[in-house]
Structure 1
Amino acid sequence: MSAESEKALPFAQLTTPYSKLAGDDMFLEAAVQWGTWSILVLWVAGASMATELSRPCPQRCECHQETMEVNCSRRQLSAVPEGLSGDSLHLNLGHNRLKTLGRRQFAGLALLQELDLSNNMISMIEVEAFQGLQSLQTLRIKSNRLKIIPVGVFSGLPRLRALDISQNEILVFLDYTFRELVNLQQLEAGENDLVFISQRAFTGLQNLQELNLDRCNLTSIPTVALSQLQNLTRMRLRRLNISVLPSNSFHQLHRLRDLRISHWSSLDTLASKSLIGLNLTSLTINNCNLSTVPYASVHTLVFLRYLDLSYNPITAVHGNLLADLLRLEEFHLAGGSLVTIEPGAFKGLAYLRLLNMSSNQLPTLEEGVLHSVGNLETLRLDRNPLACDCRLLWVVRRRLRLDFDGHQPSCTAPDVVCGREFRDFTEAELSGFFTCRQARILNRKPQDVRVEEGGRVLLHCMADGDPSPSITWMTSQHALLLPTGRVRVLTNGTLELRYAQVQDSGSYLCTASNTAGNDSFSVSLQVSGLPHSRNRTVPHFSEMVWTVPSIITVTNSSAQVSDPFPFDAKTLIIAMTMGFLSFLSSVIICFVFMFLWSQSQGQIKHTATINFVPRTSKGGGAGGGDGNDSGRFTMKLI
């Protein structure tokens, strides 16, 4: 070992203990710091525990420290309990026996966010009862006995977002009832005895987004009151006794997006401008009494995406009347009385993806009713008397890709496939079952019908086919004949001409049509005029019938049974009514004239005194007696 190394050794021996000493000091310093933090944490925990232990809780309530909730529900309380902690966030006083709320009833609960007073017996709330609840966001006073809400009850609630006053006995909303609730977003006011909503009742609710008015005694839409709700986006009106929805019912609600009208059992009419001014995306009018789709009312709703007209007695959807609903995606017409859906009924609805026609009386749904079958994703046809023929072949072919929402359609006819669901058919069976037979007129023998003027003509057009063909009639001028009027098409397809006239002469085209094809046949009619005769008082009626397979028979003889009355019952009733009114007016005029004449004669005496001389028994002259023989009597005039 060198001398330098020996000299360095004592230095190393000296420095080693010094380093060890320095490490020990650092350890002690860390221990001191750790102990300080531990004491601090324990102190905070102890303070917190002390605070929790010191937070008051009413004797008959439950307090949950983690949620800052005080639950006093179902405690048979007849008054708001005392000793509530000022830092409580939720207070439940539901299902008790509270009857009144006094002024500043909840003073000291400045942090409270939710207050539930439902299912009590509250019949009176004093003005400023909720004063001091500046943090309250939800207030429920559901199922109580309130009959009126005084103005000022809701003062002091600047942050209230949701208010539920449903299922009370409130009769009227007065002006400015909700004026202080400037931040209210949801108002539940249904199932009250409301008969009137004042025009300024909703003044101040400039931020209200949802309003529900259900089961009340309103007989008309409170249009003026609703016009105050400029930011309303959702509104529900259920179980109202209103039969007609008038024009401009919601004309100021430009931001309304969802309107639900439900269970108006007497609603059968929507005025053509009843929904004018709305920009709805969702419209529900179900469980009402509409007999037709309200085309004139809904055609302005160009932003509509959802339309529900279920459970109305609607019998048909007509063609080419819904094309203005360009954005419609869902259409529900379940539970109605649908029998017919005309071709082109949903023409123009390029985005329609869900069609619900379940629980109706539909025998079929032809592919031609839709704008595009490819866009359709969900189709409900269950619980309909479906005839499984070629008209439904397009549905069955898509049975594996099309969503039936868990409700498979099934066949009702023909008998060979009755009860079978669409998913049960194999591809090989489709060509054998889902077929149609073209419409065919049974008798095509040329017909030439002649009848005298004033006669009655019946032209029967009988046809066969599968499905059963429909019968239409057209004149030689290509005018389609309707089921009303003097010349009309009866429900069985027969063409009737009453009181035939010379100008009715010409050809009439009968067309039988079904899905598989059409068949037409022309009939010629010649109406001859009758010569004028003084003895002709009653028109002569003869009947011309075109039957199949019988030969045409024309009868003009007097033996033909004639209708003794040339006028129908309606004409006779009108004539008798006019005659009776004329007679009655004449009698009234006579009585008025007699009354005026009697008034002009001055006061009328109702008694008369008559002097007379009795005839003698000896037959002497009238002047033969003395003055004692004269007599006098008084009569009362009636």
Structure 2
Amino acid sequence: MLMAVVPVSVPADAFKLRLERTLISTVPRAAFYNLAELRYLWLTYNSITSIHPSSFVNLKALREMRVDGNLLSSFPWEGLRDTPQLQILSLHNNRLSILPPHAALFLHNVTYLDLSSNRPTGARGPHETPGLILCLHDNPWLCDCQISMLMSLCSSVGSPAVLMDPLLMCSRSLGQAGMLLTQTDFSRCTRPSVQPAATKVVSPLGSNVILRCDATGYPTPTLTWIKTSSLLTRLNGTPLRGTLKMGDRWSIISLNALSYRDAGEYRCQARNMAGISEAPIKLRVIGIARVFQPSKKKSRRIMSKWSPMFNQPTRTLAKFKSPVLRKTSRKLQSVHKQKKKGFIENSLSDTQTIAHDCHKVSCPLYLPM
């Protein structure tokens, strides 16, 4: 009778465990906890559809793991934290459709990773691990910018990744299906370039303002607005986006009735498969200064307050740049001299006129009080 579960009666000092062509469909939590000395684990050609993320607990000595020929649509990459000595990992002939970027975080000592005969359309992450041999043949590759970066890495001198099969073919791409990956033209893949309409914007409090940025790249990038290191979820206005042509995109945000909270740095971020770029726009909100114009009644009070000072010497009169102020200053000095000599009996009307002229031109209070 075929085995349907992972056995628990395995000797604790087992060096190698091989479970092959069984009816095992799941690998439970801590399935090999008692096998601390295990070096080789083969779970090949079974019916395994799922592996618990904690299945490999206590396998600190494991060097090789083969899970070929199963029905896995996903693999618990984070579970490899419990296998720090793992060097060989083979997942050949499964149904893996997604190869997540974070997988590279758990492949510290892995030097051979076999992902052949699966269903991924792109690969990101694992090829960034130094010294890794990556097997990717017999997969339905989508020849896009992601796979182009992998191909570029494999073809570079001193590359940490090795392409085992140079005859890999594109199964899906824009006009390049059936072509070899090594012959595919990826020259159109370009990282986004962002150009804001203005990098600095100054607008009055309570006004309306529109911020705009344009981006180019291939594939056509997506645009996102960010403010103060967080995604703009609440906006004074609604972002609008549009595409001019293939590879070009624009986006604007309309901010209405500006408040001081709207001030700050806005970043327009463009993203596509080839990379990410962004451009800052600084918005400054300023208040409106009110010009003070005294009323006629207040002007009379100011004039009456100035009247007593004309009985005092004008020792503190300054040199004025304005011709009107210089003329007013000379008049005041002349009236004071004539009054002092006794030529003028009543100079109140003259001094009031001078004070009024001085007030009209915003005369600085250089006169003694």
- After TM superposition, the score normalised by the length of structure 1 is 0.29
Instruction: Using CA pairs under 8 Å that are at least 6 residues apart, name the structure with larger relative contact order, 1 or 2.
Output: 2
Q: Whose radius of gyration is greater, 1 or 2?
A: 1
